[in-house]
Amino acid sequence: MPTPSSINWTALGVFVFFFALVTVLGFWASRWQRGTANKGAHLDEWGLGGRNFGTWITWFLIGGDAYTAYTVIAVPALVYAVGAYGFFALPYTIVVYPIVFLIMPKLWQAAHKAGHVTAADVVYGRYQSRKLELAIAITGVMATMPYIALQLIGMEVVIKALGVTGELPLLAAFVILGLYTYSAGLRAPALIAFVKDLMIYVVVLVAVVVLPMKLGGYGAVFQSARDAFAAKGGATGLTLQPQQFLPFATLALGSAMAAFMYPHTMTGIFAAKSADTIRKNAVFLPAYTVLLGLIALLGYMAYAAGIKVSSNNDVVPALFNAMFPSWFSGFAFAAIAIGALVPAAVMSIGAANLFTRNFWKPYVNPGVTPQGEAKVAKLVSLAVKFGALVFILFLPTKFALDLQLLGGMWMLQTFPALVFGLFVGWFGANALLSGWAAGIIGGSWLVYADGIKPVHTFHIGADSYSLYTGLSALVLNIVVAVLVQLLFERGGAQVPAFKRSQIERG
Amino acid sequence: MRLLLLLPFIGLLWVPFYNRELPALFGFPFFYWYQFAWVPLTALIIWIVYKDGVKKGVQ
């Protein structure tokens, strides 16, 4: 049981203040950015914020949504544990933007023209295959559930650092989140993202200036990390060991290709006002990558500050508690906790949109009106969050982490179905579905056989190559898709042009 | 112009090229400041391609 003296009251006070502030914003958000063409109870309003977000709102929303609370906790934790290898997050979040720039405006156009709400809608619109649509939708929901659970872990870590124990605070935070997401939809996280992102920027900029000043400069920070890794040994260090080159590069590339396939990032894209909004964001979103790189460095600063933790995830909260006055720690922890709310809200909306559009509408109630869709999606968003909460409260944390790892690999397998059709018309639905199945099964099997590790080592003759399993599975996926298309679907494109134009209008 | 977008991939995924500590900059080993430098560079490259697209009237 906690003793009252273990609670940091100043930090808790600051924390509660900011949490209350965003709660008010969350409920008020339903009246924000209504626009002149408001469709009332239409799913476009609740699920995509009216499809009317301009460059600034999109920048805050996607930034707040893609760089999650879990990132702020887990990236420095990995860097603290292994050093340079944990920095794959940096090339990952750099090369993701050329990919966004090339692909996402086209995907947005396809969605906008036909009124699609989800990635699976786009796939159905193009290929007219319910099976492929369902495959994409299930992948999205399955990958998103553990991701929401991880946001809860991020929140749990900072609540614990405030000296508060028990599961009640987490429960309360999630009930509040559930209610304002239910009432305001995507507008709530979009508005809260402004507060969250500004708070995180302040916290990180202060930390990366003040901490090195206290710790003797960046040279000293890197030196203490260097010494710590030298003592630790193994595959750690300030630079990579040769056997880590391929895993580092393939993890970066594979993660970048999967990042915008997720329902929560896709929702941010579809909510944008125009294709140009997305292109501009590809130019300006890298600002968040600088932030992420600086956050990663906190892992090294922990060595310079002499922080010792039993669980690596505690490294950032422990560093803040040790180095800053209570009020600033409270502010930082509030930033991280609010940082969990934004992605958790968008993820639950993205998953709810998928369920409604790609399961409820085709299989349960084909005649559902857009208003009816909104009603179903709102209820499902509550159910999704409740599921994630049960997950965290009753199952081991490792389970969520393992599923999240598998989820990234699964998401990557939707890349061909979603993206290839935007550039080439050659692949048909059956080929893409076969490739998807091969990638999911093959990849899951490899990950499972390796004991839930993201990297698999292939032995070819005397050489061995270690690659991110998601990327290996994607290669299998594409090879199978090409073979099926060549062998069984002669004649190339399965969707005649006239039909496609009808679909796009419809 | 769009080929410019390949540069970040080459610069960052070819790891042996930057996997070293020297020369350091402001206390940052090369491995770190090199990767950080690619962030504004990538933004600039995307901006150049974007402006080119605007000029050509890409929708």
Closest partner CB to B15 (pick from A98, A249, A283):
A249
- Residues A392, A398, A403, A408, Cα dihedral to 10°: 110
- Rounded to 5 degrees, φ, ψ at A42 are -65, 145
The answer on pLDDT for A355 being more than 90 is: yes
- A410-433 mean pLDDT: 93
Question: Which of A59, A100, A218, A423 to probe the B interface (max B CBs under 10 A)?
Answer: A218
The answer on pLDDT for A495 being more than 70 is: no
Q: pLDDT tens across A257-280, in order?
A: 999 999 999 999 999 999 999 999
pLDDT for residue A228: 93
* H/E element, A213: helix A187-215
- CA separation, residue A145 to residues A150, A151, A353, A470 (Å): 9, 10, 14, 18
Using a CB-CB cut-off of 8 Å, the residues of chain A touching B35 are 87, 90-91, 94, 293
d(CA B4, CA A298): 33
Spatial neighbors of A212 by CB under 8 A, at least 6 apart, are: A218, A220, A221, A301, B27
The answer to whether the Cβ–Cβ distance between A252 and B50 falls below 8 Å is no
Using a CB-CB cut-off of 8 Å, the residues of chain A touching B9 are 95, 98, 253
- DSSP string of A380-400? HHHHHHHHHHHHHHHS-HHHH
pLDDT for residue A165: 80
pLDDT for residue A299: 94
Q: pLDDT tens across A362-408, in order?
A: 999 888 898 899 999 999 999 998 888 888 888 888 788 788 888 99
Least confident of A5-9, A191-195, A245-249: A5-9
pLDDT for residue A234: 84
Question: Which of A87, A97, A224 to probe the B interface (max B CBs under 10 A)?
Answer: A97
- A45-73 mean pLDDT: 88
* Three-state DSSP class for residue A466: strand
Q: What is the DSSP letter of B28?
A: B
In this structure, which amino acid lies at residue A13?
G
**Mean pLDDT estimate for chain A:** 88
What confidence tier does A71 reach under pLDDT thresholds 50, 70, 90? Answer: confident
The answer on pLDDT for B2 being more than 50 is: yes
pLDDT for residue A490: 65
- DSSP string of A221-267? HHHHHHHHHHHH-SS-BSS--GGGHHHHHHHHHHHHHHHTTSHHHHH
- A1-10 mean pLDDT: 61
The answer on pLDDT for A462 being more than 90 is: no
Structure tokens at B35: 């990767």
Closest partner CB to B42 (pick from A94, A238, A280):
A94
- Greatest C-alpha distance within chain B: 45
The answer on pLDDT for A5 being more than 60 is: no
pLDDT for residue A274: 92
Percent of chain A whose predicted confidence (pLDDT) is above 70: 95
pLDDT for residue A4: 39
pLDDT for residue B59: 67
In this structure, which amino acid lies at residue A128?
Q
A30 or A179: which leads in pLDDT:
A179
Q: pLDDT tens across B18-53, in order?
A: 999 989 899 899 999 999 999 999 999 999 999 998
